[in-house]
Copies of this chain bind each other. A is one copy, B any other.
Amino acid sequence: MSATRSRTKPTTVSLAAAEAVIAAAKEKAEEIGQPMNIAVVDAGARLVAFARMDGAIMASIDISQRKAFTAMMLKLPTHALAEVTQPGQPLYGLEHTNGGLVTFAGGVPLIGRGGEPVGAIGVSAGSVEQDQEVAEAGAAAFG
């Protein structure tokens, strides 16, 4: 089943694909009652689409985009950076590189046909658990 599905996955993030990702994320955000900022970037970590839901905080315009950027630039979900960037941990200070990375949950790679990240979604405005849940719902709609 998963092999079958992956054969149909895209190799790039088209606008239509990004809109489908955002639509799925919005649906989850509405379900949990937390308006969100949602950003989708392509394989070059360049913005493809963005939506700020009514009532979502403005700080997350930037944060959601940085989460998507971070997830693609590192080919990792941003929550994977939370521990390793703590004081005393190996990548302490990582967030100051690349003009500012985000090292908490809410950025998730979009996996393409070959099993590699070909884009990313970043979600912000709720708790990090909510951001992550909504980002995963968006990512699941890719392909």
Chain A residues in the interface with B (C-beta under 8 A):
14-16, 18-19, 42-54, 57-59, 61-63, 66, 70, 72-75, 82, 85-88, 90-104, 127-128
Contact = CB atoms under 8 A, between A and B. Distances in A.
Contacts of A73: 57-59
Contacts of A18: 51
How many copies the complex holds: the figure is 4
B49 A14 contact: no
A44 B45 contact: yes
A96 B96 contact: yes
Nearest to A101: B59
Given A59-B98, A93-B104, 9 more contacts: A16-B54, A19-B51, A49-B52, A59-B97, A59-B101, A87-B87, A92-B104, A93-B95, A96-B96
